[in-house]
Amino acid sequence: MNEFAHLLDRLAYEPRRNAKLRMLQDYFARTPDPERGYALGAMTGTLSFREAKPALIRGLVEERIDPVLFRLSHNYVGDLAETTALIWPATPLASDRGSDRALTLPDEARVPSPERERSALAESRVREENSSERPDPSPQPSPARERGHVAIPEPQDETIPAALRRDTPAGLGHNNPPPHVPTLAEVVESLATIPKRELPRHLADWLDALDETGRWALLKLVTGNLRVGVSARLAKTAVGALGGHDADAVEEVWHGLTPPFETLFAWVEGRAERPETLNPAPFRPPMLSHPIEEEEDLEKLEPEAFSAEWKWDGIRVQLVGGRDRAGAQVGKIYSRTGEDITGAFPDLAEAITFTGTLDGELLILRKRRVQSFNVLQQRLNRKAVTGKLLEEFPAHVRAYDLLTLEGDDLRADPFVERREKLEALVTRLDHARIDISPLVPFADWEALAAARADPASVGAGEDAEAIEGIMLKRRNSPYLPGRPKGPWWKWKREPHIVDAVMMYAQRGHGKRSSFYSDYTFGVWREAPEGGDELVPVGKAYHGFTDAELAKLDRYVRNNTTKRFGPVREVAHGLEAGLVLEIAFEGVQRSTRHKSGVAMRFPRVSRIRWDKPPAEADRIDVLERILARGEREVAPGATLLETDA
């Protein structure tokens, strides 16, 4: 487990792709099965086990550390896993691990004197409030390299127990693990099998045995918050490189495999045959596009080399049909990540009467008109669907590519040839649930830009509101898994923009744990008692540079009016406040916000240092955007009424 943790630590602070790839290759080459397979599962998000709740972790820490000291430290560091990894004390006796005594320290180690408590509080406040210069928001050392962020009393205080003193030689569990250190395989397999009541004891034992970086990785893993610093694609590239295979070859067999991937490693190392799936309707890894930069990319591309089609505001899916060993038809529906969602869309599964793999967009159609994403959400993430739901929200797929057909793999064929075969298949099926995404005619980039800005003027008609942009596909491009740059481009329509006022700020995580980088913002509305009030409508934590983050962090600290643990209320009103220009993709009803609405995919597009808060937008702007979607969900009623 410690080896895996230190790999994650190095990956997190290595910006170069090739250097990360070498680290991964080295780890996979020298690490035995099943350890490396579970590591690959952790990096690709394919592990499945019982996750530990933050409350459980806090409870374990507070059994060993004074709760006040822990809360002060957590508020300062900003991340639960990092705080716990740093503050978790050494076990007094190795023989006590696993017993009741392992969960506690002597009373004098747990309860600091009033003087030490005031000292710890003063230290954290001095560090936080009196620092005019904030650290650079570039990656900072991990818990294993830097321990200065936790409010621990100074070592010269002789009243501090040895277990908490910095000048005392490290004991067990403090970068000096006992003979048995849990492996990653042991942790994962235990989490998948132990009963819930046993989880606290196992977690405490593992924390005792690991060093600081190991504890940090363990807690990120068991809480489901592991962020590796590499993409799943890069991890698969490293695995394939063990035997001279490229990432596409690994992608081809990936979705029929599960951790610890022993058959995969045996194949790439030449010890076994290529893994084959017995699924008659398997998922194929999708081809993804790159966002286009108008000024940089368009001038390098030739219009005649591309086809264009609408980019629909839905969910990407694959419809896959095949026949099992008995000759019976099998139909599967997969999400873009390969999750089998057939059970949630029985009405659509009935339309899979072909043998092949169709790539398209999941939409809701009523009277041949595409509905908004708000309507589609009524069918998403449901374990069971009722007859009424199937009738009122009929699922539909708008197809735009064909990967296989009647046993033939078409992915190496040019796009125009695949498109011809797709058109013929959809025509032959003649099914109300499946149609084809129309091509958008254009002579040059100016004409396509005009179509993107006004889809209704070039044939989209009433479906124009469900279009979020243009897809550009090179006419001679094969269907390549992953995100190759050049063949496919997405050119999204301009997002909605509003000016909102910052109301609250919270510390970020990881390299941003010392910065206030998560901002809740609001817009104006008429208050019930008269006058105007700001009401929250969203939260954004990206869209700004590191330099802008440093300025925003300084603004938050200088304009704090109240504190709620790691959250600060920032001055906001008609006369005081910071206006943020927020870009977003849409609006939906929300019971979590006082305003009753929430934005989809909000991000900070500009910081309006120059704009008075009184001139920020009003809730009416968002209500108008929302109105159309609510009329589609239930004409004459709002979404809230239909939920009731």
At 363, which helix (H) or strand (E)?
Answer: strand 356-366
**Domain 290-489 in CATH 3.40.50.150:** no
Question: Taking a C-beta distance cutoff of 8 angstroms, is the pair 103, 204 a contact?
Answer: yes
Question: Taking a C-beta distance cutoff of 8 angstroms, is the pair 452, 469 a contact?
Answer: yes
Quick one: pLDDT band at residue 187, thresholds 50, 70, 90?
Answer: very high
DSSP letter (8 states) at residue 439? B
pLDDT above 50 for 94: no
pLDDT above 90 for 96: no
One-letter amino acid of 237: T
Write the pLDDT tens digit of every residue in 112-156: 444 444 444 444 444 444 444 444 444 444 444 343 344 444 444
Length of the chain: 644
Instruction: Give the C-alpha separation, 428 to 283, whole Å.
Output: 23
C-alpha distance from residue 573 to each of 81, 559, 592 (Å): 36, 12, 22
One-letter amino acid of 573: G
Q: For residue 427, what are its two tokens?
A: 């025509």
Question: Taking a C-beta distance cutoff of 8 angstroms, is the pair 622, 613 a contact?
Answer: no
Instruction: Give the C-alpha separation, 143 to 71, whole Å.
Output: 18
Question: Taking a C-beta distance cutoff of 8 angstroms, is the pair 47, 259 a contact?
Answer: yes
Quick one: pLDDT band at residue 635, thresholds 50, 70, 90?
Answer: very low
C-alpha distance from residue 240 to each of 3, 28, 43, 245 (Å): 21, 10, 15, 5
pLDDT above 50 for 548: yes
Closest-CA residue to 116 (of 149, 84, 68, 82): 68
One-letter amino acid of 315: I
Quick one: pLDDT band at residue 67, thresholds 50, 70, 90?
Answer: very high
Q: What angle do CA 249, 254, 259 make, to 5 degrees?
A: 135
Q: What angle do CA 117, 119, 123 make, to 5 degrees?
A: 120
Question: Taking a C-beta distance cutoff of 8 angstroms, is the pair 307, 415 a contact?
Answer: yes
Delimit the domains of the chain by residue range: 52-131+150-182, 290-489, 496-633
Closest-CA residue to 583 (of 642, 500, 516): 500
Q: For residue 71, what are its two tokens?
A: 């809360």
Question: Taking a C-beta distance cutoff of 8 angstroms, is the pair 14, 23 a contact?
Answer: yes
Sequence-distant (6+) residues with CB within 8 A of 530 are none
What are the start-end ranges of the H helices in 326-469? 346-349, 373-376, 387-392, 415-429, 445-453
The set of long-range contacts for 262-268, using a CB threshold of 8 Å and a minimum separation of 24, is 262/33, 262/34, 262/37, 264/37, 264/239, 265/28, 265/33, 265/36, 265/37, 265/239, 267/243, 268/239, 268/240, 268/242, 268/243
CATH architecture type of domain 496-633: Beta Barrel (2.40)
Question: Taking a C-beta distance cutoff of 8 angstroms, is the pair 568, 556 a contact?
Answer: yes
Write the pLDDT tens digit of every residue in 145-185: 343 344 444 444 444 444 444 444 445 544 554 557 899 99
Chain-wide mean pLDDT for the chain? Answer: 82
Query: Strands 369-370 and 532-540: what pairing?
Result: unpaired
Instruction: Give the C-alpha separation, 278 to 324, whole Å.
Output: 9
Task: Tell me: cis bond preceding 34? Omega within 30 of 0 counts.
Answer: yes
Q: Please tell me which of 125-129, 220-224, 329-333 the model is most confident about, judged by mean pLDDT.
A: 329-333
What are the start-end ranges of the H helices in 433-545? 445-453
Quick one: pLDDT band at residue 625, thresholds 50, 70, 90?
Answer: confident
Q: What is the mean pLDDT of residues 222-247?
A: 87
Instruction: Give the C-alpha separation, 482 to 432, whole Å.
Output: 31
DSSP letter (8 states) at residue 52? P
Of 121-130, 283-292, 381-390, 402-411, which range is least confident? 121-130
Q: For residue 544, what are its two tokens?
A: 């700004």
Quick one: pLDDT band at residue 70, thresholds 50, 70, 90?
Answer: very high
Question: Taking a C-beta distance cutoff of 8 angstroms, is the pair 481, 285 a contact?
Answer: yes
Instruction: Give the C-alpha separation, 146 to 82, whole Å.
Output: 11
Of 93-107, 116-130, 198-212, which range is least confident? 93-107
CB-side neighbour CA atoms (13 Å) of 449: 8
pLDDT above 50 for 326: yes
Q: Look at residue 274 and give its three-state secondary structure.
A: coil
Closest-CA residue to 581 (of 544, 555, 550): 544
